[in-house]
Structure 1
Amino acid sequence: MKVFLVVTLYLATCISFTRSKSLRSSKTDGNLEGLEDTIVPLGDEPADYRAKRSVMRKPTALSEIMGPLSRRHARDLTEFQRSDAVYLRMRGLLSILKMLIGKEPQIEIFHYVNWDKTINIDNLFYTRPTSIFQVRRIIRAARHLGMRVRATGAGHSRSPLYVDEGNVMMDVRDLERHDGPRMQINPKNSVRNYKTLTAMTGVYEYDLNEFMVRNDVTMLSQPLNVNETMGGMVAAATHGSTWSAPTYSGYVRELRLMDSSGRLRKFTIERHPELMKAIICNLGMFGIMYDITIQVYPTLIAKVHNQFVPLGSLIYNNTALRDTVTGNFLTEISWFPFNSVTDAEAEDYKRDGTIPAAWNAKRDSIWLRSINIISEAELGGRPLEPTHFLPTNGSLSGGKEKGLLRGRGAVSVAKRVPIVSYHHLVNAFPVILPPRWGTETSAAFMLNIDNQFIRAAEALQFIVEEAENQIKANGSTPLNALLPRFFENSDCDLCPGNHDITQADDSGRTLVIDFLAPPAQYGFYPTARKFVDHFRNQKVRPHWGKRHDNIPGIIDHIKLVYGDNLDHFQKMRKLADVDPCDMFMNSYLLEIFGRSGTWCA
């Protein structure tokens, strides 16, 4: 309390000398020789947004308050004691932050839980700006205090990409553009012979899709839900399952962000190709993304076909697997373990947990969903339907069903989807909702696909057999759903599917092994570890946004697999001079990438 009073009195004295000034960028801004074209002039802050006052700091006093925040793993405190100590210091810092930032946006101490309740952060500073000027004020205030800032949107990530406890989480979903609409279509021009779409980083995918339909344009791939934000999908290279289309990052042609000096910066694929290799999948390390411009295509009509085929005929036949995946515009394969039990076997299971002697995974059904592009003539006047939200009761693994019968329940609800339907392409991708009962998390790992699909089949069989063995051994399953997906690689440093990570007979595509279960489900994490260990020599790498940080040695493995790409990423980050003080990093990312230099404020 004594320290806080000293600092508060000092700040109050400073306010009278600095009331008409704003927080300025520090000496660490560096120069942008050769990148002057990346600066977007913002000018003075509009009067409606302007901070009422700004202050200077006394480092020796503030360091006593900030100290416990940097000792997150102090050995002399229990977790609860440490969290309480952090909270007490944050209470003192909150008043200082509010004085630095001004009346808007509000900033509060917050307990954060992500969308599927798998990430919990005890105490952080949460703020939700509405303008680029407010973003600038938050960044400069945080930099003034030596704090870190990381953006968030819908909170779909299950990995440690969030800001560390005691620092600033900036929710970007309410941001509005200061120089244009929230979303806009850009016509072809002399540089780009295709249309582009510019959208704010916090725009939800379902709003983006509606906008594309209204404007007769489309994307070629999308994830399994529409509740993600544009910035989140780009920052972590969110994937779909389109054979000849990349992750969301692969569509980016231009991006504006605010760096740690409070400068709005613009980077384009034409003027800054090497920098864009790092920026299009930046994990939030380049700054607070503002708006993003992606390539779009003329609207397309899609025919969706749902089938249920024996697992053994597809997963254990690499030729059939290859022909199925490469023969469709998009292929989604979903397996829900134990789904082929008969009514009589299900009754026996309910009664005493009996696993039928005749059951094996090859007997189960695969839900095979394919999408292909058709012409107006092939449509033949049929109505185009809206997006189908999959009838899974808010969970992809069986809704309210219990135990192993979840698999049977999941297939049952999947069969309620029409066998054939027709859509605008952006409305054809299947959509799930967040789980309504408990939590359901996801582990996902990437492997290169060879032209013969031998590696792909081997990886799928490994997961299937792990689940089958556990079911037969003790009547439990390590996963509720296996969702392999397929996409095209891109020219990108950190994208899990990129042209620099190759294997023998490489197809230039990547397989995603994605499997779901509640995080406490027996065998879930051990299966993820076994998979990574088994395929280490095939350069397996985690999906950045999915659960993987619990796997022993994963950070060293990431460094090994990405190799020179990590060095290029850091070189580009330094060249761009977006964050010399590592304001946009967190403890997990620092373990992988290291520090840029001396921590500064």
Structure 2
Amino acid sequence: MKVLLAIALCLATCMSVTWSRSLRSSVIDDSLEGLEDTIVPLGDEPANYRAKRSVIRKPTALSEIMGPLSRRHARDVTEFERSNEVYYRMRSLLSILKILIGREPIIEIYHYVNWDKTITIDNLFYTAPTSIYQVRRIILVARYLGMRVRATGAGHSRSPLYVDEGNIMMDVRDLERHDGPRMQINPENSVRNYKTLTAMTGVYEYDLNEFMVRNDVTMLSQPLNVNETLGGMVAAATHGSTWSAPTFSGYVRELRLMDSSGRLRRFTIERHPELMKAIICNLGMFGIMYDITIQVYPTLIAKVHNQFVPLDSIIYNHTALRDTVTGNFLTEISWFPFNSVTDAEAEDYRRDGTIPTAWNAKRDSIWLRSITIVSEAELGGRPLEPTHFLPTKGSLSGGNEKGLLRGREAVAIAKRIPTVSYHHLVNAFPVILPPRWGTETSAAFMLNIDNQFTRAAAALQFIIEEAENQIKANGSTPLNALLPRFFENSDCDLCPGNYDISQPDDSNRTLVIDFLAPPAQYGFYPTARKFVDHFRDQKVRPHWGKRHDNIPGIIDHIKLVYGDNLDHFQRMRRMAQVDPCDMFMNTYLIEIFGRSGNWWCA
């Protein structure tokens, strides 16, 4: 350790130039022929941001520090020994990082746990810059040292999209815009005959919604919570359940990001349409997203209707399913297994775990939540209500109830919400809070919806029958909630719902099969695997942000389904010259997309 620290101090004093001078010379002069218009002049770091620090050229001595990190999977040691060795090496590298980055932003070794406690990373370098200049400083230091950097926000992803252990996680939630407010409305102009909204990538959805209400604009779809950041929702194509509205990626009209050469870049749908097909759902591979401009619409009034109807009347009747979904602005269907047991049956179950012989899934109810758009005249002076947070203590699994009776309690909880209510549209979407105790994760898979809804009905029936069979076989359920959702496709390379992935009689819409349970719950992962295996020939694909990497062969399947879209994405990434070093990749993404350049590009 003493030797490594001595190396760090020696390296730090080998050049005595200020950080601002070195920064100008260190921005890589990669050719951007044809894309010169994408560079946003940033200039030197303002004096109030600047920190004078010594800098270095790429030292070969750092390979001694980084080597064990990149070779860790081949080391014949226990997990505990490996983790300790990684931490020991990172302590040495941390000293160098702090010297090179300066006082701000702070960078520390961190044990990372995501939003719902389903992803843990033993050791990473964590930093939360507040300015674009700090972002640039981190990126240039990382490029010198051959390290990877990936952004994070609220940590909602349940899949391996996070930075690899031993590298830099950049939390973007505290980033402030250097040339404008954190959020702003842009009026119509000669290029866009609609309003847009520009917001920082780290803005939370609840702040975005409040801002839209104040400014009389709206989006047309939203996810099941308001605790996600705008950048996270765009990067992974977060969906809602609006029949004729896309994922968050489909609203993007302009995006600024910082590439691995420390350049602030601006891409727009009008000037760079082919590039934007890749950028609007980029999984963090194009760089550190800075601010995002989305299309917004004049404010709308939503009438929300909550009903509880027999499961077999919708799920086992594809015509009724089609008419219900296509007949509403938004339709959300939620099934909580075993919810139809009577009081007497519940007592028997509590006493000895008895599964009623008369019970089957078709006897259960589904929670049918629909939204229609109404006029001021139809509103008739009724008050507009705020968002209704589901009173489930941060879970869709029935509050404190245990075992299979969670489903019964979940329906009882949902029935406490008003049958009919009126809201600004952005406040009309149901909202859950993070789990307060334990974990509850989600697996989600996408399928094309045919015009007759036969494929959609078959997919829902498959999951329901898997759960029913397990309940009857051993009194346990592989899922606590099934949440099918529906949305419109986009012209987008990596969006799970896109025009290039099609099926016969395609409606250009996508069905989301989303089901929740604690990750250790018996049958949860096997059911996900069975579903993917059963629907492989229908081009089933995973939601990028949900659990799927445990399914055997899933990477080869992703390559097969996305096909030419993956090639186009990589071509656009190379053409944009945002990351020739693969700085913004991780091991999982490299398995899917391959390398685009050299690991060490400094």
Tell me the TM-score normalised to structure 1 length: 0.99
How do residues 401-480 of structure 1 correspond to structure 2 at under 5 angstroms? 401-480=401-480
Distance 1:69 1:437, change over 3 A: same
In structure 1, what is the Cα distance between the partners aligned to 2:527 and 2:441? 14
Matched residue SS, 1:404: helix
- The residue number in structure 1 matching 2:246 is 246
Residue 530 of structure 2 is matched in structure 1 by: 530
Instruction: Give the corresponding residue for 2:91.
Output: 91
Match of 1:507 in 2: 507
Q: Who is 1:550 aligned against?
A: 550
Q: CA deviation at 1:16?
A: 2.5
Shift of 1:23: 3.8
- Contact in 2 for aligned 1:29/1:577 (Cα 8 Å): no
8 A Cα contact 1:25 1:262, kept in partner: no
1:25 CA drift (Å): 6.4
**Cα deviations by residue, 1:388-409 (Å, 9 ceiling, x for unpaired):** 0011121111011100000001
Which letter maps to 2:449? I
Q: Is the 8 A contact 2:19 2:51 kept in 1?
A: no
Q: Residue 101 of structure 1 corresponds to which residue in structure 2?
A: 101
Of stretches 208-217 and 59-68 in structure 1, the one that deviates more from structure 2 is: 59-68
* CA 1:59–1:15: 2 relative to 1, 3 Å: closer
User: Matched residues in 2 for 1:4 and 1:437: separation?
Assistant: 42
What is the deviation of 1:8? 2.1
- In 2, the alpha carbon distance for the partners of 1:238 and 1:149 equals 22
Q: Confirm or deny: 8 A CA contact 1:478 1:523 kept in the other structure.
A: yes
Equivalent-residue separation in structure 1 for 2:574 and 2:535 (angstroms): 33
**1:494 paired to 2:494:** yes
Q: CA RMSD in A?
A: 1.1
Q: Which residue of 2 aligns with 1:256?
A: 256
| Deviation at residue 598 of structure 1 after TM alignment | 1.8
Give, in whole Å, the separation in 1 of the partners of 2:97 and 2:85.
18
| Distance across 1 between alignment mates of 2:115 and 2:88 | 27
1:28 Cα shift?
Answer: 6.1
Shift of residue 2 of structure 1?
A: 5.1
Q: Which moved more, 1:51-60 or 1:361-370?
A: 51-60
CA contact (8 A) 2:17 2:54 kept: no
Q: CA deviation at 1:435?
A: 0.9
Rounded to whole Å, the distance in 1 between the matches of 2:309 and 2:166 is: 50
Alignment of 1:157-196 (within 5 A): 157-196=157-196
1:46-65 alignment runs, 5 A limit: 46-57=46-57, 59-65=59-65
Contact 1:143 1:583 (C-alpha < 8 Å) held by counterparts:
yes
- How far, CA to CA, are the matches of 2:87 and 2:52 in structure 1? 27
Give CA-to-partner distance per residue, 1:179-222, whole Å, 9 cap, x none: 00000000000000000000000000000000000000000000
Task: Note the residue ranges of structure 2 that are not aligned, 5 or more in a row.
Answer: none
For residues 229-258 of structure 1, give each alpha carbon's deviation from its aligned partner in whole angstroms, at most 9, with x where no partner exists: 000000000000000000000000000000
SS for the counterpart of 1:59 is coil
Query: What CA deviation, in whole Å up to 9, does each residue of 1:23-71 have, x standing for no partner?
Result: 4566965200000000000011011111321311453211001101111
Task: Give the SS at the match of 2:72.
Answer: coil
Q: Give the Cα separation in 2 of the matches to 1:255 and 1:19.
A: 28
2:213 aligns with: 213
Shift of 1:437: 1.9
CA apart distance, 1:284: 0.1
Contact 2:18 2:52 survives alignment (8 Å): no
1:575 aligns with 2:578: no
Gaps of 5+ in 1: none
Q: How far apart in 1 are the matches of 2:444 and 2:526?
A: 14
22-31 vs 207-216, which deviates more? 22-31
Distance 2:27 2:571 in 1: 20
1:336 aligns with 2:328: no
Change beyond 3 A, Cα 1:194–1:20:
closer
What do residues 530-574 of structure 1 show as CA deviations (whole Å, max 9, x unaligned)?
A: 000000000000000000000000000000000000000000000
Q: CA deviation at 1:5?
A: 3.5
**C-alpha contact (below 8 Å) 2:12/2:56 kept by paired residues:** no
Q: After TM superposition, which residue ranges in structure 1, 4 or more long, deviate above 4 angstroms?
A: 17-20, 24-29
CA distance in 2, matches of 1:51, 1:366: 59
The letter of the residue matching 1:596 is S
Secondary structure (helix, strand or coil) at the match of 1:95 reads helix
Q: Following TM superposition, by how much is the alpha carbon of 1:6 offset from its aligned partner in structure 2, in angstroms?
A: 4.2
Deviations 1:61-85 (A, max 9, x none): 1100110111131231211111111
Query: What is the distance in 1 between the residues matched to 2:27 and 2:154?
Result: 35
Q: Partner of 1:321 in structure 2?
A: 321
Change (3 A) 1:261 1:39: same
- The answer (yes or no) to whether the contact 1:52–1:103 under 8 Å persists in 2 is no
* d(CA) in 2 for partners of 1:48, 1:445: 48
The one-letter code matched in structure 2 to 1:557 is H
Q: 1:17 to 1:373 in 2, by over 3 A?
A: closer
- Deviation string 1:90-121 (CA, Å, 9 cap, x unpaired) is 10011100111111000000000001000000
Alignment CA distance shift 1:25-1:19 (3 Å): closer
Counterpart of 2:99, as a letter, is M
Partner of 2:312: 312
Aligned to 2:598: 598
In the alignment, residue 357 of structure 2 is paired with which amino acid?
A: A
Per the alignment, in what secondary structure is the counterpart of residue 346 of structure 1? helix
Q: Secondary structure, in 3 states, of the residue corresponding to 2:237? A: coil
Contact 2:27/2:261 (8 A) holds in 1: no
Q: 1:12 to 1:582 in 2, by over 3 A?
A: closer
Question: Secondary structure of 1:366's partner?
Answer: strand
Flag the 1:485–1:309 CA change in 2: closer, same or farther, 3 A.
same
Amino acid at match of 2:526: P
Q: Give 2:137's aligned amino acid.
A: R
Tell whether 2:277 aligns with 1:277. yes
Partner Cα separation in structure 1 for residue 158 and residue 235 of structure 2: 14
Please give the alpha-carbon distance, in whole angstroms, between the structure 2 residues aligned to 1:441 and 1:265.
Answer: 35
Given the superposition, is the C-alpha separation of residues 343 and 69 from structure 1 closer, same or farther in structure 2, using an over 3 Å criterion? same
| Matched ranges for 1:217-228 at <5 A | 217-228=217-228
DSSP-derived class of the 1:545 partner: coil
1:398 maps to 398
In the alignment, residue 529 of structure 2 is paired with which amino acid?
R
- Separation in structure 2 between the aligned mates of residue 368 and residue 309 of structure 1, nearest angstrom: 7
CA distance in 2 between counterparts of 1:449 and 1:281 reads: 21
Give secondary structure in 2 for the equivalent of 1:60. coil
Query: In the alignment, is the contact (CA less than 8 A) between 1:107 and 1:126 conserved in 2?
Result: yes
